[in-house]
Amino acid sequence: DQQVKQNSPSLSVQEGRISILNCDYTNSMFDYFLWYKKYPAEGPTFLISISSIKDKNEDGRFTVFLNKSAKHLSLHIVPSQPGDSAVYFCAASRIATYKYIFGTGTRLKVLA
Amino acid sequence: DADVTQTPRNRITKTGKRIMLECSQTKGHDRMYWYRQDPGLGLRLIYYSFDVKDINKGEISDGYSVSRQAQAKFSLSLESAIPNQTALYFCATSVGGAGVNYGYTFGSGTRLTVV
């Protein structure tokens, strides 16, 4: 049973446009969410997080939105750059468990 | 030097062989984890440890064992490797505390192939 789902395995976007990556979860007890970015031959690196007390968190070009009623979060990248081409994983956890459940990843390709 | 170092980076082994993947960290984090990544399945938790005397099974621990030799070292063993353990393995660390929940710092991964 996949508790965290990323239903789009891949996404292509033109440079300068917005990239929107989506993530759905099933466990209403999750209260902390992160996005990781992974380049080939490297480990995932932390990108941005959001706790369930917020519905938006912004860091430069990256914004994460959380819709708790829909159990849905999304990552917006504006403007998209070729260097953003990577696999993006969303992850969810319950505070104090320190264990994250990961989605299957979305491969983003930003076209120059 | 990387904060989280995994060795080896790549390994090919034969079915039935015992193999150990090693992870060491300089972050000073007390929590360490082993995940495996498979195409279409994301990252799945194998084992985790919150301190040297604490070992916990994750969602896919069958066929694996771990050892937390020190705060900075956490190794993963495959007692008798089988082909469906072919995957990319990641070690991760995190810092903890009451009411605090931070993300992980990952190593660069070990690509294991069992033939």
A49 touches chain B (CB under 8 A): yes
Question: Any idea what the Cα angle at residue B76 is, between residues A39 and A37, rounded to 5°?
Answer: 15
A43 pLDDT exceeds 50? Answer: yes
Contact B50 A36 (CB under 8 A): no
- Using alpha carbons, list the distances in angstroms from residue A19 to A4, A14, A79, B24: 20, 9, 8, 35
pLDDT of residue B40: 81
Mean pLDDT of chain A: 93
In this prediction, residue B1 has a pLDDT band, given cuts at 50, 70 and 90, of low
Please tell me if residue A35 touches chain B, with a CB cutoff of 8 Å.
no
For residue A44, give the nearest of B50, B94, B106 by CB distance. Answer: B106
Q: How confident is the model at residue B41 (pLDDT cuts 50, 70, 90)?
A: confident
Tokens of A69: 């009623």
- DSSP code at position A20: E
pLDDT band at B104 (very low <50, low <70, confident <90, very high): confident
A12-30 as b/e, with b when 16 or more CB fall inside 10 Å?
A: ebeeeeebbbbbbbeeeeb
pLDDT band, residue A72 (cuts 50/70/90): very high
Quote the CA–CA distance of A21 and A88 in Å, as a whole number. 8
Q: So what's the pLDDT on residue B39?
A: 82
